[in-house]
Structure 1
């Protein structure tokens, strides 16, 4: 039986048309995704070479199927495991199968709510310190401020006390490596040139420098008698169920690298988008302020305050609906499967654009509108059916609780002290590994 008779796929985008737009797609694929979805429907396909098939979707049924209902037949693709692991090592983000499950079970307890509650005091102190000298009454770029804030919150939550020079170097390396990684993923036909010109080697060397910086911190901690009550202490205390052994230093390095990148960049992006949206919606900003004042009149306990921040959480969620920091994910099916009635071949690459799914009018009323009410009361349950800011299923982001605490604390601190005004109505975006804001500026005015 021929392959064409055995397998069938959603409407197909021609490879010629794809290659014609390849350079523009590399710079920003989102406008092209939207154009193709509008033309072909909520899922379309692409055939590369004689045997490789790709499906891109904004269909909730696809997201549920590959991430939750039938997740055992879908693993992270080579785009994530091969390319990213080259620079970030073999941690939760980049591994599959039994090893991933083993690592997830080992690390998960460090991110349980009770453990996160222990980090809140340190998190709050870092936020207050980082935001104490915000420039007032003048237009400022918001992303650098939020990026510095999020980086230091993660650094001090991981390591308690960060070494300024080494942490700054770590931030530079992460930025450089990510930019090159995007080129590798989106321009596969230039792979030979990247290798020949020494660019791959250069960026792998930078990744090794990261290992040295983190490895030094780990070894110093192992030799220390002090208790720091941070994530590194928690990770050092973990033991594998089957052997009773701790993680190796290299495995710790790999996991910490991923926590650093996933933990600071996504939050920095999200906070920048939130400030932009609140700065354009003063009536919603006022409701945030009112909730902060009300909560602070009820309790001084920071953890209790966080648990009462219903409207603030709705604002954060609605912002991440419009601008999901983890804007796309992909999987490959291990064996042949059936999806949306199509028989798909094993090793088909399936991408789900959360950015487009979150704006799909099939699921959202007035999808382009910023409306936190979607995540309150009766609407909340319905909205969560189509909401994937942290992924879904067994591989849902392990740092969800950490990120929500950090964003809630940062947002409440800013809005309590300042009126925020956006300088632009429209938000420019750059979809790299995460969805990055471009050119966002605000004015902070003292309340």
Structure 2
């Protein structure tokens, strides 16, 4: 007992000394970031990390936009300095020009490798470039055109089910659940060449429940991973030993995360085995599968078979891409679609104008891909929603070495001097303010915080076009840019437009009497009630009752 107590005391002492050293390092020792303006931390221990990344952090973000320049110093855990950036030139250097000096944070990389395995979300440098080289062709526009037929077929199922529910009059329907199920099935058929959900009853596939629970269940461990050497721990002993240790940690939440990861991996192993067996059996077997061999995974497997040994992906990497794609695509698309429907319910005049454009284009039938993406008001609604309500509000990077960050316009330092650039030390977390850039009033004008689709029907302000915002989509940072830009943003756009075109032709969406709030932490998500249930109820009625 004494020996165990001594070990415990040593561990506590080591923790106290480590915390004390961090406090001295970040509160006492000088830094090149000391002259960068920012708020006084609300806590010596936690700084403003909970205010910045918490679920209800929008007010804090807006306060930063109002009080400080587009590069802000924020104190985080035990005083560590972080930069919050939305200056256009600085963002260009972070994600394009000097992107290999500003890499994903170890926390992000390690967490995604542990949860999903090796994938685009957990790779760096040459490994990441090789993976994108193989993946880029599968998101080609020709594949989008082919998949549009599949997407329409799935969305028609959703429409038929909703029509049955409201056939005898308007009803309140929890639309987030249906949109999430649809997003997963769109990904299943278009991305993986399989099917999970018929969308004809109230029983979603268990993967929907698990994937929706992954972020809230794992959030404490994501925070903990910031302070543990996860990469080293993952190499200790055998995989069997590490799993035994995890299984014996007395944490119900941890075991829930492990169960979700196991379920996701087992499902994808089955899908991958069937895809490989069909490819080995020949073209006829491939054509009999869901997606007829044109889905993302089938195309990727064919490309992988032809790749050189140096470029070829292992089964572990393929499974990692499948898991990360399934999670990222479902969560972001379902959240974005739910937000658009909620906005249209809040702005019935916009909903009606969009409906008339869609009805005229559809003429009772589905619109082909090229005509659909060219519909001006539909495009305006989607762009404005992605601008003001980007699914992800921030994205963090970490400097791999000391680097100088140039600015578009000088900012006044704490000592009164004007700064045209900032010397950023190695291992500094730099958070890109996606929403901050999208809603920057200096660029978009005094109404930047307002949702106005009409702004996209006329030329954008010169302040926007001349800023050269480094995003891949419409002068926005929503899908980032550079070598780590969202690889599937066109896939996501097509999903949203097809679902909206089919549903708005048939249904009118109105607000229910339940207040919906939107959480900003991580990915934006709707919530209802004091317990913050992930829901978005809307009143749904037929446009033309039969």
Q: Same fold judged by TM-score > 0.5?
A: yes
1:372 and 2:453 aligned: yes
The CA deviation string for residues 198-255 of structure 1, in whole angstroms up to 9 with x for no partner, is 4446523531332121011111221123222222211211237542764222111100
- Contact 1:318 1:372 (8 Å CA) reproduced: yes
Tell me what 1:288 maps to.
354
After superposition, the Cα gap between the structure-2 partners of 1:95 and 1:201, relative to the gap in structure 1 and judged at 3 Å, is: farther
Offset at residue 267 of structure 1 (A): 0.8
Aligned length: 445
Alpha-carbon spacing, 1:380–1:392, altered in 2? closer, same or farther (3 Å): farther
Asked if 1:232 is matched to 2:297, the reply is: yes
Mapped contact 1:322–1:358 kept (Cα < 8 A): yes
Query: Deviation per CA, 1:53-112, whole angstroms, max 9, x where unpaired?
Result: 311234333322211233232111123101222112121122111101000001110001
Partner residue, 1:268: 334
Deviates more, 1:171-180 or 1:109-118: 171-180
SS in 2 for 1:28: coil
Residue among 426, 430, 434 paired with 2:519: 430
The 1:215/1:188 distance shift into structure 2, 3 A limit, reads: closer
After TM superposition, list the pairs within 5 Å mapping 1:32-431 onto structure 2. Answer: 32-47=60-75, 52-134=80-162, 135-136=165-166, 137-164=170-197, 168-186=205-223, 197-198=250-251, 199-200=253-254, 202-224=256-278, 225=281, 226-227=285-286, 228=292, 229-239=294-304, 241-243=307-309, 246-297=312-363, 302-339=368-405, 340=407, 341-365=421-445, 366-379=447-460, 382=464, 385=469, 386-423=475-512, 428-431=517-520
Flag the 1:34–1:6 CA change in 2: closer, same or farther, 3 A: closer
The CA deviation at 1:427 is 5.2
Deviation of residue 437 (structure 1)?
Answer: 1.9
3-state DSSP class of the match of 1:332?
strand
Q: 1 or 2, which has the higher helix percentage?
A: 1
Asked whether the 8 Å contact 2:506–2:542 carries over to 1, the reply is yes
Give the structure with higher Rg (CA): 2
Instruction: Tell me by how many angstroms 1:270 deviates.
Output: 0.7
Contact 1:37–1:44 under 8 Å retained in 2: no
1:297 Cα deviation from its structure 2 partner: 4.9
TM-superposed deviation, 1:8: 4.7
What runs of 5+ residues in structure 1 fail to find an aligned partner?
A: none
Report if the CA contact (8 A) 2:71-2:86 is conserved: yes
Q: Check whether the contact 2:84–2:433 (CA below 8 A) recurs between aligned residues.
A: yes
**Kindly tell me: are residues 251 and 421 of structure 1, through their superposed partners in 2, closer, same or farther at Cα, counting changes over 3 Å?**
same
The change in CA–CA distance for 1:157 and 1:380 in structure 2 (over 3 A counts) is farther
- Deviation (angstroms), 1:312: 0.3
Distance 2:366 2:159 in 1: 20
Relative distance call for 1:304 and 1:390 in structure 2 (3 A) is: same
Q: Is the 8 A contact 2:41 2:48 kept in 1?
A: no
The CA deviation string for residues 266-296 of structure 1, in whole angstroms up to 9 with x for no partner, is 1111111111111122221222122223323
> What's the offset of the Cα at 1:332?
1.2
Deviation larger for 418-427 or 150-159: 418-427
Structure 2: which 5+ runs fail to align?
Answer: 1-27, 230-244, 287-291, 408-420, 470-474, 529-535
